[in-house]
Structure 1
Amino acid sequence: MRMFRLMKKNGITDYDDFYQRSVREPAWFWRAVEKDMGLHWFHAYKKVVDLSRGTAWPRWFVDGKMNVAWNSVDRWAEDLGASNRLAVIWEGDDGSVQKWTYRELYQAVSRMAAGLTSLGVKEGDRIAIYLPMVVENVITILAAARIGAIFTPCFSGYGAEAVATRLRDCEAKVLITADGFLRRGKTVNMKEEADRAADLSPSVEKVVVVRRLGREIPVNPGRDVNWDDLIAGKKALSCVETQADAPFMIIYTSGTTGRPKGTVHTHAGFPIKAAFDAGYGMDLDAGDTLFWMTDMGWMMGPWMVFGALLNGSTMLLFEGTPDYPEPDRLWKLAEDHGITHMGISPTAIRVLMKFGEKWVKKQDLSTLKVFGSTGEPWNPEPWHWLFTQVGDKRVPIWNYSGGTEISGGILFSNLMKPIAPCSFSGPMPGMDVDIVDEQGKSVRGEVGELVIRQPWVGMTKGFWNDPERYEGTYWSRWEGTWVHGDWVQADEDGFWYITGRSDDTLKIAGKRLGPAEVESALVDHPAVLEAATIGVPDPDKGEAAVCFVVLKSDVKGDDVLVRELIASLGEKLGKALRPRELYFVGELPKTRNGKILRRAIKAAYTGQDAGDLSSLENPEAVKALGKSEAR
């Protein structure tokens, strides 16, 4: 295993000793990691980490110059032994397949880098990517990094307003989109949503369109650029030598209040953390094929890109869904493309296990080495089904939990140690993690707050243009301590379990969504006065949204309005994020300073004890919620 080889190279044979040294001497650890990865530096760094600006604002690989696109593609393309190795495999919803070697990917990235430059994109400019899971997604990410621009990936299922929120916040200069894509055999239009988003975003100068389907689309002659025309005849550009801590990506994550947070990631941050977690944590190596069922707008999309390419591996991009056109689609992918490392959510497994084992047994899954899982907690039944029926008790389930702000994992299942169902073995190397009580004191054997005591490579470089919000979100509770927002527990055998979020953020099928985004979209409707959203357990998605709406005094709530509001949310946020239920209520429970208390709403809805409600201005509203009816 690569983790053990790294340990031995540094004179350590006991994993617990290795972990302790990784958090006791983080500079030693991250230097050892980047050296073992063989990263190329245009200019050597002088110091691994500088904490002179405080724990919340570390500088990593000080004064070093590198480029993540060069390390991901160029170095393999220039290696005679690796240039013809597959870098990317793509399979469409319709079963069509395309493949790119590292040499071919290098050529495509170079042409796109030149194309972006021809549009006036310069170092530090922002590019938004609103694409389905097509190879142009990967090409754009790497092309932006190559010229020192900053990319912002957007979930392909977002509606126009959700995309526009992100475009406006980062002031994107160029939007990359597609005419559409296929989902379950049906056409999903995309260009129209992209046009609406661009219309709402004054900074967008050009919209580059990938012709995935070749369908007829509206054209804006002054703004639209065809992808093929943009890259035609372009010659390769050399990589910009970027500072190690120069931003290369802004990826948005939602909190419980306010607009989405633009987490800033750097050339020597997110990619190294992702590549370490995939390469050493999941034991991915050159010659392996990594597939994660995700979207490029969620963290695991870029994670897969750099986890695969920095390790010289192959990545598989999949446009479709796990059970279309047959329930064995996912297992057929594994056989057809020789997947070794497969990332899949508990939600997907809960869906697939309904079809039975016969669909699994139709395919040869002998190439599988590791299952990966992140984004939501496991239930025992699907975990055991995946392990026994799909993995035949030989493929370990690599449970993995972290976040967009982390660049990867905080906790993981250590493949060098026993794995308990639904659990984590403990913190990733380099992650100085603790469980604390309400006073910030370490606890074991009871549920507590997950915190991180020291910075790490991959830690977000704040929120885009909002340092105060970043510090307030993670560093304000206990000095020098990152508070992540998960409730966790470690048992007497050393296994860790996540018991839930300590804030109100929703995770729908592993996708994090802030209640404020849903509520803002609802309040935009002329009939709505105010709204609140909670997450409740869902047998298929893990969690589903339930909305409570206060209507304006002259509006009568009925079934037609319920359907209209739910449909509106689907248009604005994406169909996958529509609420399961919507209720009309007379008022929402609020604190004296006007804050909606979602905890009380959730308790009333689920019939649980809401705890201390002394801060409520209108406690009678909680009782009324329990009697609310969807109209």
Structure 2
Amino acid sequence: MSDADVELEARLEEQEAFEPPASFVDQANVSDESIYEEFEENWPDCWTQAADMLDWEREYTEVLDDSDEPFYEWFGDGTLNASYNCIDRHLEDGNKNRVAIKWEGELGETRTYTYQDLYREVNEFAAALRELGVEEDDVVTMYMPMVPELPIAMLACARIGAPHSVVFAGFSSEALATRMNAADSEYLVTCDGYYRRGDALDHVEKANEGLDAVDHGVEAVVVKDRLGDELDHSLKGNQYDWDDLMADHLGDRVDPVERGAEDMLFLMYTSGTTGKPKGVKHTTGGYLSYVTWTSHAVLDIEPEDTYWCSADIGWITGHSYIVYGPLSLGTTTVMYEGTPDYPARDRLWELVEKYSVDIFYTAPTAIRAFMKWGSRFPEEHDLSSLRLLGTVGEPINPRAWKWYYKHIGGEECPIVDTWWQTETGGMMVTTLPGIGTMKPGSAGPPLPGIDARVVDTNGHEVDAGRAGYLTVDKPWPGMLRTLYKNDERFVEEYWEEYSDPEEDEWVYFPEDGAKIDDDGYITVLGRVDDVINVSGHRLGTMEIESAIVGVEGVAEAAVVGGDHEVKGETVYAYVITEEGYDESEDLRARIIEGVEDAIGPIARPEEVVFTPELPKTRSGKIMRRLLEDIANDEELGDTSTLRNPDVVDDIQRKVREP
């Protein structure tokens, strides 16, 4: 590196706060800091700002009904349709030729849908669903990869008032069956297969295995032919070809069904502590208004933008910030079928340049991989179109944040580090990019109108700098309404811990640990069950991992607990080095020193295991359970959901080496 680059690196390393560029503030959708005070003083009526971004069939007269806490209702007497708000109203505004979806397949094929195109195909598929027998309030399951037919099917369901339940395509056939059974879903939309790293994957066989395990009758299955001649499969008796159905309903139009604000828009199943997936219920009015407002205020989306969230629609991030939020605002949303490193490690930056992406929203897991591969890949492309960056899915450590800021944003793009969950529907804690100072590693303050706090085990707010538990003390429009057909579990899992029903005080507990600073900025430390108990000291794995990744030469780390006959548990650290750094004893010593300096000797890693990869699911989540099995020399659990199962054996051999 040149002397100037070395000086820049040193400056960034030391800098703890960053201001948004004046050029960004001047054009930001939200740039007046009085919005925080305004929302606090006018709560809950402040949320009319979100609701009024939508078109209502019947205007609501009541903002919040809290008469049956914690079963809150938002805008409950209003009616609307989500499909209409995401498509029809943009045609009526004269924007029918604006691009709604830009899709790129893994092999480089492309499809572009204007809002007029999307209107036509959503209507035709809605007509097809009705012909197959789908009625209002029937749950339609979707088991599809990142192809345009997935959002088309979602919006078609919303059009006819049928809630959808999307199952991530990387999940097993058993997971599909479990979710269809739990939702009593009699309809499935899937595809024959898709591409991953150049290989054609047979998806319909997996879908059929799942269907065989469904414990009730399945009325109809729609199969999209994605692979063409790559895969030879035949349809069963109750299975229909997507393209044939669309041809049969060419030109059909379906009036959007008027839905109550509290009518279910979709179910999303998320993992639970009991092992049984939880059916998170999101409703039409509150959810749609909240993701529309946060897309506008946090992601700064304008209709003229080309916006790209690199998540999968099989997760809540894709629902909220690929489909419903961006399309409600009438912008162009990018969809990509493949992985970030195929056919080369510059794939994402190639697409940012190709489509002149304005806003890019991705996961810290991906950013850490980009760091490991080195800055030369983004440097090969023109990323000057970018004006805002975002992170989602897990906390981001300061070094990864600064790498993202420098090498992707060119020090000109604010970064919104967003904390939220499937259950919250949309973003809860982050800076507003046109207002807030950014602090690497800290998500930021709660959004206007969100009463997030950090408390101790007794529910009392902790002092600045102390770790505690994140809570939310007031409801918000995007919140889950309940768990499908399980109100009791809904109360038990999310409300019992810190609520006092006798005093009529209800507090939402997301089961995340956090710290708060003097400025009210919240740093999320990870799940409260992601702890290692060393000699009676409960240590958050996220805090240890952040300390390790703060060491020069480390790209990524995963920390788990290993059994210890004296301490109970001890710290095992699995570490990936940055490109250009060796797996040396010097680096191992610096890692141990870094942890001791940041947290204390009690957190000193017992083992530091260098590995070229970490075991990750197809969605990019680290499978820490397998790393615990390796640390404790136990029989390995199921590796079928991993995108890189071979790495487990490699790590196991390293740990067992003398």
When the two structures are superposed, what TM-score results if normalisation uses the length of structure 1?
Answer: 0.80
Q: Which of 331, 336, 349 in structure 1 is aligned with 2:367?
A: 349
Please state how far the C-alpha of 1:196 moved relative to its aligned partner. 0.7
> Aligned partners of 1:219 and 1:569: how far apart in 2?
30
Mark the CA change 1:579 to 1:40 in structure 2 (over 3 Å): closer, same or farther: farther
> Aligned partners of 1:51 and 1:239: how far apart in 2?
29
> Aligned partners of 1:472 and 1:318: how far apart in 2?
38
Q: Is the 8 A contact 1:411 1:427 kept in 2?
A: yes
Please state how far the C-alpha of 1:504 moved relative to its aligned partner. 5.0
Instruction: Say whether 1:367 aligns with 2:385.
Output: yes
Mark the CA change 1:494 to 1:339 in structure 2 (over 3 Å): closer, same or farther: same
Question: Could you report, residue by residue, the CA deviation over 1:424-469 in whole angstroms, capped at 9, with x for unpaired residues?
Answer: 2211122111111111011231111111111110110100000000
> Aligned partners of 1:508 and 1:329: how far apart in 2?
31
Mark the CA change 1:93 to 1:291 in structure 2 (over 3 Å): closer, same or farther: same
Q: Secondary structure of the equivalent of 1:417?
A: coil
Counterpart residue number, 1:453:
473
> Aligned partners of 1:364 and 1:165: how far apart in 2?
45
Instruction: Say whether 1:259 aligns with 2:259.
Output: no
Letter in 1 for 2:350: K
Counterpart residue number, 1:437:
456
Q: Is the 8 A contact 1:344 1:373 kept in 2?
A: yes
Mark the CA change 1:178 to 1:409 in structure 2 (over 3 Å): closer, same or farther: same
Which range is displaced more, 181-190 or 218-227? 218-227
Please state how far the C-alpha of 1:538 moved relative to its aligned partner. 6.3
Counterpart residue number, 2:442:
423
Q: How does 1:155-194 map to 2 (within 5 A)?
A: 155-194=168-207
Please state how far the C-alpha of 1:271 moved relative to its aligned partner. 2.0
Please state how far the C-alpha of 1:233 moved relative to its aligned partner. 3.4
Letter in 2 for 1:545: R
> Aligned partners of 1:190 and 1:454: how far apart in 2?
43
Counterpart residue number, 2:120:
107
> Aligned partners of 1:423 and 1:323: how far apart in 2?
28
Please state how far the C-alpha of 1:95 moved relative to its aligned partner. 0.8
Counterpart residue number, 1:312:
330
> Aligned partners of 2:43 and 2:96: how far apart in 1?
34
Counterpart residue number, 2:226:
212
Instruction: Say whether 1:19 aligns with 2:42.
Output: no
Instruction: Say whether 1:294 aligns with 2:326.
Output: no
Letter in 2 for 1:447: A
Q: Is the 8 A contact 2:292 2:329 kept in 1?
A: yes
Which range is displaced more, 127-136 or 346-355? 346-355
Q: Is the 8 A contact 2:445 2:520 kept in 1?
A: yes
Q: Is the 8 A contact 2:51 2:286 kept in 1?
A: no
> Aligned partners of 2:531 and 2:275: how far apart in 1?
12
Counterpart residue number, 2:608:
none
Counterpart residue number, 1:46:
61
Q: Is the 8 A contact 1:191 1:217 kept in 2?
A: no
Q: How does 1:134-149 map to 2 (within 5 A)?
A: 134-149=147-162
Q: Secondary structure of the equivalent of 2:509?
A: strand
Letter in 2 for 1:383: W
Q: Is the 8 A contact 2:530 2:541 kept in 1?
A: no
Instruction: Say whether 1:413 aligns with 2:431.
Output: yes
Letter in 1 for 2:416: W
Please state how far the C-alpha of 1:378 moved relative to its aligned partner. 1.4
Counterpart residue number, 1:597:
none
Letter in 2 for 1:575: L
> Aligned partners of 2:626 and 2:340: how far apart in 1?
28
Mark the CA change 1:64 to 1:230 in structure 2 (over 3 Å): closer, same or farther: same
Q: Secondary structure of the equivalent of 2:144?
A: coil
Counterpart residue number, 2:5:
none
Instruction: Say whether 1:61 aligns with 2:87.
Output: no
> Aligned partners of 1:175 and 1:252: how far apart in 2?
15
> Aligned partners of 1:109 and 1:170: how far apart in 2?
23
Mark the CA change 1:79 to 1:408 in structure 2 (over 3 Å): closer, same or farther: same
Letter in 1 for 2:42: E
Counterpart residue number, 2:351:
333
> Aligned partners of 2:40 and 2:71: how far apart in 1?
18
Please state how far the C-alpha of 1:177 moved relative to its aligned partner. 0.8
Please state how far the C-alpha of 1:545 moved relative to its aligned partner. 2.5
Runs of 4+ in 1 over 4 A off after TM superposition: 1-8, 504-509, 534-542, 547-550, 577-582
Counterpart residue number, 2:103:
90
Please state how far the C-alpha of 1:414 moved relative to its aligned partner. 2.4
Q: Which of 477, 480, 492 in structure 2 is aligned with 1:472?
A: 492
Counterpart residue number, 2:418:
400
Q: Secondary structure of the equivalent of 1:47?
A: coil
Counterpart residue number, 2:239:
224
Instruction: Say whether 1:78 aligns with 2:92.
Output: yes
Mark the CA change 1:2 to 1:50 in structure 2 (over 3 Å): closer, same or farther: farther
Question: Could you report, residue by residue, the CA deviation over 1:296-327 in whole angstroms, capped at 9, with x for unpaired residues?
Answer: 11111111211211111110000011111111
> Aligned partners of 1:29 and 1:244: how far apart in 2?
17
Question: Could you report, residue by residue, the CA deviation over 1:127-156 in whole angstroms, capped at 9, with x for unpaired residues?
Answer: 111111010001000000000001001111
Overall identity of the aligned pairs, in %: 34
Instruction: Say whether 1:389 aligns with 2:415.
Output: no
> Aligned partners of 2:107 and 2:29: how far apart in 1?
42
Q: Secondary structure of the equivalent of 2:429?
A: strand
> Aligned partners of 2:143 and 2:324: how far apart in 1?
19
Mark the CA change 1:193 to 1:273 in structure 2 (over 3 Å): closer, same or farther: same
Counterpart residue number, 1:593:
none
Letter in 2 for 1:219: S
Structure 1 gap segments, 5+ residues each: 510-533, 551-558, 583-604, 606-627
Q: Is the 8 A contact 1:207 1:224 kept in 2?
A: yes
> Aligned partners of 1:26 and 1:579: how far apart in 2?
52
* Matched pairs, number: 538
Mark the CA change 1:407 to 1:227 in structure 2 (over 3 Å): closer, same or farther: same
Please state how far the C-alpha of 1:220 moved relative to its aligned partner. 4.1
Q: Is the 8 A contact 1:346 1:373 kept in 2?
A: yes
When the two structures are superposed, what TM-score results if normalisation uses the length of structure 2?
Answer: 0.77
> Aligned partners of 2:256 and 2:541: how far apart in 1?
39
Q: Is the 8 A contact 2:371 2:400 kept in 1?
A: yes
> Aligned partners of 2:446 and 2:153: how far apart in 1?
33
Instruction: Say whether 1:248 aligns with 2:268.
Output: no
Instruction: Say whether 1:575 aligns with 2:629.
Output: no
> Aligned partners of 1:58 and 1:376: how far apart in 2?
27
Q: Is the 8 A contact 1:545 1:579 kept in 2?
A: no
Counterpart residue number, 1:488:
514
Please state how far the C-alpha of 1:535 moved relative to its aligned partner. 11
Q: How does 1:545-584 map to 2 (within 5 A)?
A: 545-547=624-626, 569-570=639-640, 574-576=641-643
Mark the CA change 1:302 to 1:3 in structure 2 (over 3 Å): closer, same or farther: farther
Mark the CA change 1:6 to 1:366 in structure 2 (over 3 Å): closer, same or farther: closer
> Aligned partners of 1:162 and 1:413: how far apart in 2?
36
Please state how far the C-alpha of 1:170 moved relative to its aligned partner. 0.4
Q: Secondary structure of the equivalent of 1:219?
A: coil
Q: Is the 8 A contact 1:123 1:148 kept in 2?
A: yes
Question: Could you report, residue by residue, the CA deviation over 1:265-315 in whole angstroms, capped at 9, with x for unpaired residues?
Answer: 011122222221111112111111221111111111111211211111110
Please state how far the C-alpha of 1:239 moved relative to its aligned partner. 0.4
Letter in 2 for 1:327: R
Mark the CA change 1:27 to 1:255 in structure 2 (over 3 Å): closer, same or farther: same
> Aligned partners of 2:266 and 2:103: how far apart in 1?
23
Q: Is the 8 A contact 1:368 1:395 kept in 2?
A: yes
> Aligned partners of 1:97 and 1:547: how far apart in 2?
38
Q: Secondary structure of the equivalent of 1:330?
A: helix
Counterpart residue number, 1:512:
none
